[in-house]
Chain A
Amino acid sequence: MPLVQFTSNLKRFYPSLKETEIEAKTIDELIDQVNDHYPGLKNYLTDDQKSLRHHVNIFINGSMIKDRRKLKDEIQKNDQVYIMQALSGG
């Protein structure tokens, strides 16, 4: 199953967050599954219209996803998915 890893900054809000194997074929499915493991986390990653938030990035095996709006990038069973945040602010 694809392995999902998270930015450590999310642990402030989800202390039990850890890398997790998720059964999913696309990124939107993966986020739904992640939300089952960590209720509410989906709202941290996507906006009201289910698009990726502006300052969140998702990588599949090191490559940034292409479809930020509908999250239909495909995932293979041995892929590694990284959920990151952009570094900004002060």
Chain B
Amino acid sequence: MSDKRTLLISTRKGLITYKKNNTRKWSFDKVDFLGLPVSMAYVDKPNNIWWACLDHGHWGSKMYRSFDEGNSWEEVDAPRYPEGEEVKKDVPASLNYLWAMNGTTNGSTTSLFVGTEPGGLFKSVDNGNSFELVRGLWDHPSRKDQWFGGGRDHPGIHSILIDPKDSSHIFVAISCAGVFETTDGGKLWIPKNNGLKADFLPDPKSEIGQDPHLLVACESNFEVMWQQNHCGIFRTTDGGNNWQDITDKGGEANFGFAIAADPKNEKVAWVVPALSDGIRVAINNSLCVCRTEDGGRSWDTFRNGLPQGQSFDITYRHALDQDEETMAFGTTTGNLYLSNDHGENWNWLNHNLPMVHCVEFI
């Protein structure tokens, strides 16, 4: 049974915390960074350090950390692109957006990774006191000529997956470039996009230029990964060597941003679909969640408790999370929904939040 009692909701107007009481009822607790856009929050569980990434409109992207579970926050220097670096010829590289965080702890050493727009992956080994650009990926020969922005002005790393059995084995997903893998801690990166399709490219099967919206893995079997892609839903069972298209052709589970993988059952995943990349609202103005229990061969659609016929909600890529039987997702129109039965039935927690960027149980 779910035992996590805190829900962190990163929104356009602050970091909002919900708490669960002993009767399993969730309620609003507080807001930090009121009025400021929070692109995401991340909790370094082994060290119990909370992180918040801010996206000031005027002052740039900032990072804050908390050593007391969000009671107090301190700003740390956000990752910086080295002087002279370029996104492409004559386009200076500067931190535009903090879009992904993940970390791994071996003994007394924690490696913290941050994915950013315009395409740089940064690493810290001192709990965020300093960050260093991961050169192996930034200097990848495909980057300057074949990566490009998707939704944002420049390429961005929104997904970082670290093999629980081997911390030097890492995947990142980039919009738009695709999935890349390193097995040596970040020196050499190999594209892993065979089987994906990018309908918006002259060659849809191009190895570089794919648009994974989010990459997730099954915790108990890291060979199994899923991605909600711009052009459908894909799954791999061989560590990204081959991707299978598991889109529900003609059904709801097709376009979208968010995807969640069951940590124990490698055949179970959820998506919150939307209507086409050109329109981007709930399908038929009716919000739903789709779940597969057979590795994507079939999808079930769940609507109970979600608005039907009057919804314009989109769920961003990091705005769906799962903890055992409990699931939550937030939307662009400020709705926050919760399910206590693996996504089959939903209740609303709030209809009046700011736009939701990221949802995380801790």
> Which A residues are closer than 8 A to B by beta carbons?
9-10, 13, 40, 43-45, 47-51, 53, 55-56, 85-86, 88-89
Q: Which 8 A-B pairs have the closest CB atoms?
A: A47-B94, A48-B94, A44-B59, A49-B92, A48-B81, A55-B58, A85-B58, A48-B80
A41: shortest Cβ distance to chain B, in Å? 9
Chain A residues, Cβ within 8 Å of B80: 43, 48
B77 A89 Cβ-Cβ under 8 A: no
Closest Cβ of chain B to A7, distance in Å, is: 9
Beta-carbon contacts under 8 Å, B87-109 to A = 92-95
B321 to chain A, nearest CB (A): 28
* A51 CB, min distance to chain B CBs, angstroms: 7
A43 near B93 with CB under 8 A, answer no
B92 in contact with A53 (CB, 8 Å): no
Q: Would you list 9 pairs from A and B whose C-beta atoms are within 8 A, ordered by A residue? A: A9-B58, A43-B77, A48-B93, A48-B95, A49-B93, A49-B94, A53-B58, A53-B60, A55-B57
| B75 close to chain A: CB less than 8 A | yes
Q: Is B83 interfacial (CB-CB < 8 Å)?
A: yes
Set of chain A residues within 8 Å of B93, measured between Cβ atoms: 48-49
Chain B interface (Cβ within 8 Å of chain A)?
A: 56-60, 75, 77-78, 80-85, 92-95
Given contacts A40-B75, A40-B77, contact A47 B60 (CB under 8 A): yes
List of A residues within 8 angstroms of B83 by Cβ: 48-50
Given contacts A47-B94, A56-B58, 18 further A-B contacts (CB under 8 A): A9-B58, A10-B59, A40-B75, A40-B77, A43-B80, A44-B56, A44-B59, A47-B60, A47-B92, A48-B80, A48-B85, A48-B94, A49-B81, A49-B84, A55-B58, A56-B59, A85-B58, A88-B58
Q: How far is the CB of A84 from chain B (nearest CB, A)?
A: 10
Looking across the interface, which residue of chain B has its beta carbon closest to that of A86?
A: B58
Q: Among B57, B81, B85, which residue has its beta carbon within 8 angstroms of that of A89?
A: B57
CB-based contact B57/A88 at 8 Å: yes
Residue of A nearest to B79 (CB): A48
Q: Name B92's closest neighbour in chain A (CB-CB).
A: A49
For the complex, give the distance between the alpha carbons of A49 and B90 in Å: 12
Residues on A with beta carbons closer than 8 Å to the beta carbon of B81: 48-49
Known: A48-B80, A49-B81. A43 touches B60 (CB 8 A): yes
A residues less than 8 Å from B95 (CB atoms): 47-48
Given A47-B95, A48-B94 in contact, is the A53-B77 Cβ separation under 8 Å?
A: no
Give the complex CA separation of A57 and B93 in angstroms. 20
Taking a contact as CB atoms under 8 Å apart, the answer to whether A44 and B60 are in contact is yes
CA distance A86 to B92 in the complex (A): 22
- With the chains together, A49 CA to B75 CA distance in Å? 21
B79 to chain A, nearest CB (A): 9
Name which of B59, B75, B94 has the most chain A CB atoms within 10 A of its CB.
B59
